């Protein structure tokens, strides 16, 4: 990933640049600052597509006063650059040419990819800010009325504590006037799906997922897959491995767990089946517990399920950074939301409620699973996360299929589509949902139990609020320590299952 950091208004850049520098781990390859009058565009780069200095940002449209900083991978950039003469080999340059030709609204609708960008049109004295439909790439806005200043940043670390911080909503673009800092927000992506009968739905879903994975293998750096041994990451790994083998290479896959963690065996079986070069990382429960403060800082979250699941991701990304040349990592995030994989969804009262819940989860995924995949991989480790299950075309095809073919939970339709393809072992196709935060640990001593047992020894019963569990209290206390109490609502609610009396998010308790 890279880091977008843009400031407008009545600022002195020397007073704010320290906040930009806090995000340097997102983009270790280069650092650039463009300070125009009353607007500065700053960028930390992780070079993935186009490794030359010509791809350093901010990028400028030749012969025009239009600049861009983008944390993005644009998969249809070649089509968008047709009949142009780009000055770099960066896919992000396609955003500039597309904007110049079509304007902002048509540009964001034409982009096929994962993106968060700021684009300044000096002639219009307007900063355009946009985020992809599902918020795969992070972007926050900080406002200070006293300072008459607005900051857009890839992480909240890049915004001073006294600013009011909010998410740039996924699927929207903003127009910010340089003159008076007025902001207009427009939604360009609606979470509305046709819900129609598709007689060729198996072929359509299969082909869309294959294409979603294969387009995310395109990079000028080495690519790997995070493989838990669950259905979602196994499908991604199998499709990626097949494509890479066809090109004469071998895919690297990575898994993590404690001794006897339930995911490890399934990950090994899948790796053997698909012929990947597999890396298995074993950590002790003490190492998992020790990482929690670092994970809260990296994820900028106090949500229980996010922190639990993020520890394994964080430790695995750290291993990959320190021991390999892999820079791009694919994973299975998004499948549970799009395909209805969470165990509690089986309790949906009817087909309509099942569909509504999938859409609700998708609308909020930037607060939870996408936060985990971005921050644990990118924020502290300078790697890039890509999520095929949140491909715009795949989501439209899957959620647009008649609901009664998708309901019942357990990702029934997805399993049926791939059951007889031979891509992954049948026992993985049929494996019941095991949350990543559970699968890193053995059945007899689940990760959530390890955390709670540890906190019982360090947090007195009379110290926490009656409304919070010790685990919630611990994460919130760490969050406030790092980011202050003013910004706790950046996570507006905690992830919890519906239609059940069980409130703990562990899938092993449902």
- The catalytic residue positions are 2
CB atoms within 10 A of CB 44: 27
Query: Which of helix, strand or coil describes residue 210?
Result: helix
The candidate with the shortest Cα–Cα distance to 317, out of 277, 377, 375, 263, is: 377
Whose structure tokens read 């994975």?
213
Q: Is 105 exposed, middle or buried (0-12, 13-18, 19+ CB in 10 A)?
A: middle
The DSSP call for residue 168 is P
Q: What is the 3-state secondary structure (H, E, C) of 288-353?
A: HHHHHHHHHHHHCCCCHHHHHHHHHHHHHHHHHHHHCCEEEEECCCCHHHHHCCCHHHHHCCCHHH
Query: Which of helix, strand or coil describes residue 67?
Result: strand
Distance (Å, whole) CA 321 – CA 331: 16
The candidate with the shortest Cα–Cα distance to 337, out of 306, 311, 358, 313, is: 358
Query: Which of helix, strand or coil describes residue 43?
Result: strand
Whose structure tokens read 């494996």?
431
Distance (Å, whole) CA 502 – CA 485: 28
């Amino acid at each position: 990933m890279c880091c977008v950091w843009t400031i407008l208004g009545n600022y002195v850049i020397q007073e704010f640049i320290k906040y930009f520098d806090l995000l340097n781990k997102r983009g270790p390859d280069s650092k650039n600052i463009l300070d125009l009058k009353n607007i500065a565009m700053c960028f930390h780069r992780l070079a993935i597509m186009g490794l030359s200095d010509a791809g350093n940002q901010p990028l400028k449209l030749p012969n025009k006063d239009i600049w861009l900083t983008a944390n993005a991978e644009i998969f249809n950039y070649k089509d968008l650059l047709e009949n142009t003469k780009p000055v770099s080999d960066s896919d992000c340059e396609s955003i500039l040419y597309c904007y110049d030709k079509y304007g902002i609204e048509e540009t964001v609708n034409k982009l096929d990819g994962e993106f968060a960008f700021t684009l300044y049109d000096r002639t219009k004295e307007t900063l355009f800010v946009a985020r992809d439909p599902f918020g795969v790439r992070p972007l926050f806005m900080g406002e200070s009325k006293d300072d008459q200043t607005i900051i857009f940043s890839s992480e909240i670390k890049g915004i001073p504590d006294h600013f009011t911080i909010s998410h740039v909503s996924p699927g929207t673009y903003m127009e910010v006037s340089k003159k008076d800092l007025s902001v207009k927000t427009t939604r360009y992506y609606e979470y509305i799906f046709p819900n129609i009968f598709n007689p060729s739905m198996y072929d359509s879903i299969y082909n869309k997922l294959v294409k979603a994975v294969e387009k995310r293998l395109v990079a000028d750096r080495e690519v790997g897959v995070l493989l838990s041994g669950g259905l979602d990451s196994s499908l991604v790994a199998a499709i990626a491995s097949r494509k890479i083998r066809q090109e004469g290479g071998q895919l690297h896959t990575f898994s993590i767990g404690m001794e006897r963690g339930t995911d490890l065996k399934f990950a090994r079986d899948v790796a053997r089946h698909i012929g990947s070069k597999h890396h298995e990382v074993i950590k002790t429960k003490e190492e998992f517990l020790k990482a929690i403060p670092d994970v809260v800082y990296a994820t900028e979250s106090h949500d229980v399920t996010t922190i639990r699941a993020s520890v394994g991701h964080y430790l695995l990304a750290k291993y990959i950074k320190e021991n390999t040349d892999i820079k791009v990592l694919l994973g299975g995030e998004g499948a549970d939301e799009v395909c209805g994989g969470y165990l509690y969804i089986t309790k949906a009262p009817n087909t309509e409620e099942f569909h509504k819940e999938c859409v609700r989860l998708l609308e909020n995924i930037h607060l939870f699973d996408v936060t985990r995949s971005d921050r644990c991989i990118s924020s502290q480790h300078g790697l890039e996360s890509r999520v095929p299950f949140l491909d715009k075309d795949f989501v439209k095809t899957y959620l647009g299929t008649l609901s009664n073919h998708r309901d019942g939970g357990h990702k029934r339709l997805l399993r049926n589509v791939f059951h007889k393809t031979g891509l992954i072992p049948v026992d993985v196709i049929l494996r019941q949902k095991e949350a990543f935060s559970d699968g890193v640990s053995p059945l007899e001593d689940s990760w959530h139990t390890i955390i709670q047992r540890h906190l019982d020894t360090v947090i007195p019963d009379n110290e926490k609020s009656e409304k919070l569990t010790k685990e919630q209290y611990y994460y919130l206390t760490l969050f406030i320590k790092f980011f202050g109490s003013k910004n706790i609502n950046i996570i507006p609610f905690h992830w919890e299952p519906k239609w059940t009396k069980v409130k703990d998010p562990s899938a092993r308790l449902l």
